[in-house]
Amino acid sequence: MLEPLIDGHGRAIGDVRISVTDRCNFRCQYCMPAEGLPWLERSAVLTYEEIERVVALLAAMGVHDVRLTGGEPLVRRELWRLVARLSALPEVHDLSLTTNGYLLERQVEQLVAAGLKRVNVSLDSLAQDRFFAMTRRDSLGAVLAGLEAAERHPELRPIKVNAVALKNFTEAEVVAFAELARRKPYEVRFIEFMPLDGDRNWDQSQVLPNAEVRRLIGAVHPLEEIGRARSGTARRYRFADGQGEIGFISPVTEPFCGDCNRIRLTSDGKLRTCLFSVNETDLRAPLREGASDAELERIVRDAVWHKELKHHVNEPGFVPPARSMSQIGG
């Protein structure tokens, strides 16, 4: 074990999001333009061996929670091989995946066998026409089948369903999502729309505050707050009758930066200390130029020491990152 990884504000880093690809088979409005984005060359993307080396180093510094993201991570060939590598690392305590669910049904068995512990599925509408409007893909049935397949594996718990909340769109379905959480072993979580869309059209007026989502749900199914674990992102509620849970991630209206214990690694090997960082630290070059673990550790510690105290989304002069969500990693 190495000394814990601490930022300059005294926060111990315990969570890393690893993007395995910038490619995606959906074109969600809050993430990518309809025509897509230019993909990275394969040679620019970290290999599974390189990812394993970075994760092993981070885990030795106390970063025990690892989440695989994209783009859409399941379009990366034989992702289960990376899951097997990472789950074999003794210092990785929690290994999870965020996916749009389209390829989940056909891959979930291999992923679970390889050691995957949890899964988050992005699902922004339960109605076929509205799902198509949001994702620009007619694939709701495949996503729901993926969720059903995950449900058949009790090793994957909790199963989380993430819905990005957009004003004048999501209000019509918040009760339907609540009822999904009541009848299924899913924790539905509403995430406020953030300025990370590929079209660069984000505006505060498009944000549906989670306080309003809670009000709409509570009027039909009363809620009781459970609270938020330290370093957690979601404020968790249970239904007053005990039938299920629901969560709210509110980075725009209720920022949780003070407890942030997270860093990110892009698919091309850039370390990011905040989702909204305007600066990145290159790990791919030293990895490929023969840097020792001690040299990599120094680079990582220096970058993390300068981790931002908070994002500035609600402040005048806010500058969004140059990359969109799909290029950073969800």
Cβ proximity of 286 and 295 under 8 Å: yes
pLDDT for 227 beyond 90? no
Number of Cβ atoms within 10 Å of the Cβ of 220: 10
Sign of the dihedral through C-alpha 67, 41, 111, 296:
negative
Find the helix or strand (DSSP H, E) in which 255 lies: none
Distances (CA, A) of 242 to 145, 155, 183: 26, 23, 12
CA-only gyration radius of the chain, Å: 19
CA separation for the pair 94, 15 (Å, rounded): 9
Q: Tell me, what's the pLDDT at 203?
A: 65
In DSSP notation, 194-211 reads -S--TT----GGGB--HH
Q: Three-state SS for 258? A: helix
- The gap from C-alpha 42 to its chain's centroid, in whole angstroms, comes to 22
Cα–Cα dist 27/280, whole Å: 25
Residue 97 carries which DSSP code? E
The answer to whether the beta carbons of residues 227 and 235 sit under 8 Å apart is yes
What global pTM score does this model have? 0.93
Per DSSP, what are the bridge partners of residue 120? 98, 160
- 326 and 198 in contact (C-beta within 8 Å)? yes
Give me the mean pLDDT over the 162-168 stretch. Answer: 93
Q: How far is CA 196 from the centre of its chain?
A: 13
Q: Which residue has the tokens 């009822």?
A: 179
Q: Which amino acid is at 140?
A: L
Give the residue-averaged pLDDT of 72-79: 97
pLDDT in tens, 242-253: 999 999 998 888
Which range, of 47-51, 173-177, 274-278, averages the lowest pLDDT? 274-278
What fold is seen in the domain 15-328? TIM Barrel (3.20.20)
Per-residue pLDDT tens digits for 102-149:
999 999 999 999 999 999 999 999 999 999 998 989 999 999 999 999
Domains in the chain: boundaries: 15-328
3 state SS of 226: strand
CA dihedral 289, 78, 60, 54 (to 10 degrees): 20
Nearest partner of 19 among 190, 196, 160, judged by Cα: 196
Residue with the larger pLDDT of the pair 183 and 195: 183
Nearest CA-CA partner of 313 in 247, 257, 260, 262: 257
Distances (CA, A) of 135 to 121, 155, 257: 14, 29, 29
